[in-house]
Amino acid sequence: MADLQDDLVVARPQGLYCPAGDFYIDPWRPVSHALITHAHGDHARVGHTHYLAAEPGRRVLLARLGDIPLDTLPYGQAITHRGVKVSFHPAGHVLGSAQVRLEHGGRVWVASGDYKTGPDATCAPFEPVRCDVFITESTFGLPVFRWQPQQQVFDDINAWWRGNAAQGKASVLYAYSFGKAQRVLSGIDPSIGPIVAHGAMTSLNEAYRASGVALPATRHVSEVTPSELKTALVMAPPSAQGSAWVKRFGEHSDAFASGWMQLRGTRRRRGLDRGFVLSDHADWPGLLEAVRATQAPRVIVTHGYVDPLVRYFKEQGLQAGAFKTEYGDETESLDAEPASAEPAA
């Protein structure tokens, strides 16, 4: 059993803390020095004195958090802080997402943040990092979660949109404003019709484009004629469902893009016409693949289906445990996103 007093990362009320370096990773309370894995609201919060993140995430972090005191590092470039060597490595989750590698006293720990192992044209792919201890998420840590090939999902979305356009009705697709919306935009066929984006997505789409990510042109709803709306794809955050903003489209078909669409009944409970299984988190095979690739003998599991994943890793002969955190998962976002992420549109 490892000596927990010598652990490079421990759980504190403020967040995941590195005692040797005196800094936190994705803290949920204000701290002096915060290393940020990515810009989703449960991992990146306002109020810290100093921020450090991967350079590709600079624009999305500033778009979401405002004028924070932010320093960044290119992927793979290391700095040493109080004797701890720190570097960021691609996590494949969203633009700028990173795993945090810590090296001190001959030991290497990696905190994954959120990650996926599948393809995504909008961010750098997941990069396995060998380590002694790997801190992994478990948002979809059950064997039932197994994703279809990404292109198949995009083809299904295009077919749904094309069919609705032929019937003269808008296609309203709900997707999280940061990450998922841009991934969908990168994979659809813009020749089918105009694309309308909810105002909650505008600044993030611009941040992606400014970061060099190619996205098709999108329009504000006021820029689209009534006849064009009948063939449009409308991208909106989940909380827009049932709102006056959506009702302006009249008769329409609606759908949701989320890993939670894998579960029977989720689409029905939300009253949706379609559900597309598309997640920016690793599925069950992806989680196992990522952990194996690190070659870590010890694994610490955070938010999601923690207990089943810990139990599985123990059965495989690994030293496995868990950190209790305040990170959310997509379950909370099924019903709402932070109000601050949704300006009037």
Give percent of the chain above pLDDT 90: 91
Same domain assignment for residues 241 and 271: yes
How many CA within 13 A on the CB side of residue 295?
A: 4
Mean pLDDT of 294-310: 97
129 plus 17 within the same structural domain: yes
Percent of the chain past pLDDT 70, that is, above it, reads 94
Section 193-221 average pLDDT = 97
Pair 99, 211 in one domain: no
Q: Looking at the structure, tell me whether residues 11 and 92 fall in a common domain.
A: yes
Question: For 75-109, how does the pLDDT look when each residue is reduced to its tens digit (9 = 90+)?
Answer: 999 999 999 999 999 999 999 999 999 999 999 99
170/132 same-domain check? no
| pLDDT value of residue 58 | 98
SS3 string, the chain, reads CCCHHHCCCEEECCEEEECCCCEEECCCCCCCEEECCCCCCCCCCCCCCEEEEEHHHHHHHHHHHCCCCEEEECCCCEEEECCEEEEEEECCCCCCCEEEEEEECCEEEEECCCCCCCCCCCCCCCCCCCCCEEEEEECCCCCCCCCCCHHHHHHHHHHHHHHHHHCCCEEEEECCCCCHHHHHHHHCCCCCCCEEECHHHHHHHHHHHHCCCCCCCCECHHHCCHHHHCCCEEEECHHHCCCHHHHCCCCEEEEEECHHHHCCCHHHHHCCCEEECCCCCCCHHHHHHHHHHHCCCEEEEEEECHHHHHHHHHHCCCEEEECCCCCCCHHHHCCCCCHHHCCCC
* Beta carbons of 258 and 275 less than 8 angstroms apart: yes
- Phi and psi at 252, nearest 5°, equal -155, 165
* Domain endpoint, select from 276, 309, 330: 276
pLDDT tens track for 55-77: 999 999 999 999 999 999 999 99
User: Across the strands, what pairs with 25?
Assistant: 16, 35
One-letter amino acid at 333 equals S
| For range 247-271, the mean pLDDT | 93
The pLDDT tens digits of the residues spanning 125-165 come to: 999 999 999 999 999 999 999 999 999 999 999 999 999 99
Looking at residue 169, what is its pLDDT?
97
- Domain ends where: 260, 276, 292? 276
CATH assignment at residue 173 = 3.40.50.10710
* Lowest mean pLDDT segment, chosen from 126-135, 157-166, 261-270, 272-281: 261-270
pLDDT band of 5, cuts 50, 70, 90: low
pLDDT in tens, 15-46: 999 999 999 999 999 999 999 999 999 999 99
CB 26 within 8 A of CB 115: no
By residue range, what is the domain housing residue 296? 4-144+280-341
Same structural domain, 202 and 331: no
**From 171-185, 208-222, 232-246, 318-332, the region with the lowest mean pLDDT:** 318-332
Is the pLDDT reported for residue 335 higher than 50?
Answer: no
Domain boundary residue among 258, 276, 294?
A: 276
Task: Give pLDDT, residue 339.
Answer: 27
Residue 88 and residue 197 share a domain: no
248 and 296 within one domain: no
Q: Is the pLDDT of residue 308 over 90?
A: yes
pLDDT band at 4 (very low <50, low <70, confident <90, very high): low
Q: What does the mean pLDDT of the chain come to?
A: 93
Inter-helix orientation angle 58-65/199-210, to 10°: 150
Are 193 and 265 members of one domain?
yes
Is the pLDDT at 342 greater than 80? The verdict is no
Whether 35 and 127 share a structural domain: yes
pLDDT at residue 267 in the model: 86
Tell me the CATH number at 284: 3.60.15.10
| Count of the separate structural domains present in the chain | 2
Residue 98 and residue 74 share a domain: yes
19 and 108 belong to one structural domain: yes
